[in-house]
């Protein structure tokens, strides 16, 4: 039986672009990324350029459609259709999830969104209430601040180690604040779940406070750190210092605060008086 030669009609470029895009430029059968691919006419009719008839195949899988004889070896048109439909759905779901990435990250249980929109005066610092992200502007920076940023730039993560009450958490927030000005989102671990880092759509900086309580989490997220995905771990003084750490002591931070207070005495003394009146 002689096959009549079918006339090949070139696939319009817009159509081939669309077919390749829907298949993520990946063979729909073996799905190995990076292989050379071509557009295959499922019904073997090169003049039938309807989108249903076009499938992206690598050269190897395409060869499998050409096999003659050898039962079960041939990649039949029916199989190609099944593989194709399944693969296009996988690609579509993956793209949808990627697009939803930021919302799902915000909703993720283990990372709290941190913003710096509610800055408070120095009063809270003097009162010694828990210094959080709302005091990054009012409080002076400790001398480890720049060291920690250098470390983050170099390694994409830094360990801040210090005694209890030495200002290390506030320093972590102050560093994150600097990055937030550069467009980084800021997240803080809240102790739930096993965290993973995401940076699909915008760069982010992740803070793990009380990291001595979550050593496994600290290890995991440090390994995932990268340029667009930076990690600050804050340890109370229980681990040995190493070159990837910056260390503060209460004495250092007290000295810096003292210096700051004396330089800003005019502003601070009325606050102290007000507090004393309350007491
Ligand atoms: Zn293939």
Name the E strands within the chain.
Answer: 37-41, 54-58, 111-114, 157-162, 185-189, 204-208, 229-236, 245-248
> Rounded to whole angstroms, how far apart are CA atoms 213 and 192?
13
Q: Per-residue pLDDT for 194 more than 80?
A: no
- Model confidence at 47, pLDDT cuts 50, 70, 90, reads very high
Supply the pLDDT for residue 44.
94
Ligand 1 centre from 100 Cα, in Å? Answer: 29
The domain boundary residue, chosen from 39, 74, 99: 99
For range 56-79, the mean pLDDT: 90
Q: Per-residue pLDDT for 21 more than 80?
A: yes
Ligand 1 centre from 16 Cα, in Å? Answer: 18
Ligand 1 centre from 33 Cα, in Å? Answer: 9
Q: Which percentage of the chain shows pLDDT scores above 90?
A: 41
The domain boundary residue, chosen from 99, 124, 147: 99
Q: Does 233 reside within a domain?
A: yes
**Shared domain check, 160 and 67:** no
Supply the pLDDT for residue 279.
39
Report the chain's terminal Cα–Cα distance, integer Å.
105
For range 172-194, the mean pLDDT: 90
**Shared domain check, 31 and 84:** yes
Q: Does 241 reside within a domain?
A: yes
Task: List 207's β-bridge partners, or say none.
Answer: 188, 232
3-state secondary structure of 98: helix
For range 207-234, the mean pLDDT: 90
**Shared domain check, 122 and 92:** no
Q: Does 178 reside within a domain?
A: yes
Ligand 1 centre from 30 Cα, in Å? Answer: 4
Q: Which residues contact 111 (CB under 8 A, 6 or more apart)?
A: 105, 187, 188, 189, 190, 195, 206
Ligand 1 centre from 11 Cα, in Å? Answer: 20
DSSP state of 167: S
> What total of structural domains would you count in the chain?
2
Supply the pLDDT for residue 14.
96
Ligand 1 centre from 52 Cα, in Å? Answer: 18
Ligand 1 centre from 90 Cα, in Å? Answer: 16
Supply the pLDDT for residue 122.
76
Ligand 1 centre from 2 Cα, in Å? Answer: 29
| pTM for the model | 0.55
Supply the pLDDT for residue 124.
67
Ligand 1 centre from 9 Cα, in Å? Answer: 24
For range 155-178, the mean pLDDT: 89
**How high is the mean pLDDT of the chain?**
83
Query: Which one is predicted more confidently, 215 or 83?
Result: 83
Supply the pLDDT for residue 144.
87
**Shared domain check, 116 and 32:** no
Q: Does 32 reside within a domain?
A: yes
> Rounded to whole angstroms, how far apart are CA atoms 142 and 125?
14
Over residues 83-126, the pLDDT tens digits come to: 999 999 999 988 887 776 554 544 467 888 899 998 888 776 66
Ligand 1 centre from 57 Cα, in Å? Answer: 5
Complete DSSP assignment for 206-266: EEETTGGG-HHHHHHHHHH-BTTEEEEEEEES-S---TTEEEE-HHHHHHHHHHHHHHTHH
**Shared domain check, 272 and 134:** yes
Q: Which residues contact 147 (CB under 8 A, 6 or more apart)?
A: 246
Other CB atoms within a 10 A radius of the CB of residue 39 amount to: 17
**Shared domain check, 109 and 93:** no
Q: Does 6 reside within a domain?
A: no
**Shared domain check, 219 and 127:** yes
Ligand 1 centre from 89 Cα, in Å? Answer: 17
CATH code at 225? 3.40.50
**Shared domain check, 122 and 57:** no
**Shared domain check, 267 and 239:** yes
117: domain range? 105-278
Q: Per-residue pLDDT for 201 more than 80?
A: no
Query: Which one is predicted more confidently, 126 or 47?
Result: 47
Q: Does 1 reside within a domain?
A: no
Structure tokens at 77: 């048109």
Ligand 1 centre from 200 Cα, in Å? Answer: 27
């Amino acid at each position: 039986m002689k096959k009549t030669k079918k006339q090949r009609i070139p696939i319009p470029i817009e159509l081939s672009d669309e077919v390749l895009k829907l298949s993520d430029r990946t063979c729909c059968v073996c799905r190995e990324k990076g292989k050379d691919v071509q557009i295959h006419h499922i019904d073997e009719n090169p003049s039938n350029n309807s989108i249903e008839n076009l499938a992206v195949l690598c050269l190897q899988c395409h060869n499998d459609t050409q096999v003659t004889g050898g039962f079960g070896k041939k990649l039949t048109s029916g199989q190609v259709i099944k593989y194709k439909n399944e693969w296009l759905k996988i690609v579509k779901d993956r793209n949808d999830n990627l697009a939803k990435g930021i919302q799902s990250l915000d909703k993720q249980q283990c990372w709290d969104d941190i913003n710096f929109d509610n800055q408070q005066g120095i009063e809270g610092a003097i009162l010694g209430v828990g210094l959080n992200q709302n005091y990054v502007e009012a409080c002076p920076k400790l001398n480890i601040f720049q060291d920690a940023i250098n470390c983050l730039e170099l390694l994409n993560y830094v360990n801040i180690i210090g005694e209890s009450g030495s200002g290390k958490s506030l320093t972590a927030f102050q560093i994150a604040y600097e990055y937030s000005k550069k467009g980084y989102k800021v997240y803080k671990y809240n102790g739930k779940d096993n965290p993973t880092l995401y940076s699909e759509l915008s760069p982010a900086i992740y803070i793990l406070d009380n990291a001595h309580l979550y050593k496994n989490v600290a290890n995991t997220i440090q390994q995932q750190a990268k340029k667009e995905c930076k990690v600050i771990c804050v340890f109370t003084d229980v681990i040995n210092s190493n070159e990837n750490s910056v260390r503060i002591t209460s004495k250092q931070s007290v000295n810096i605060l003292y210096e700051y207070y004396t330089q800003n005495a005019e502003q601070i003394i009325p606050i102290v008086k007000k507090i004393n009146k309350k007491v």
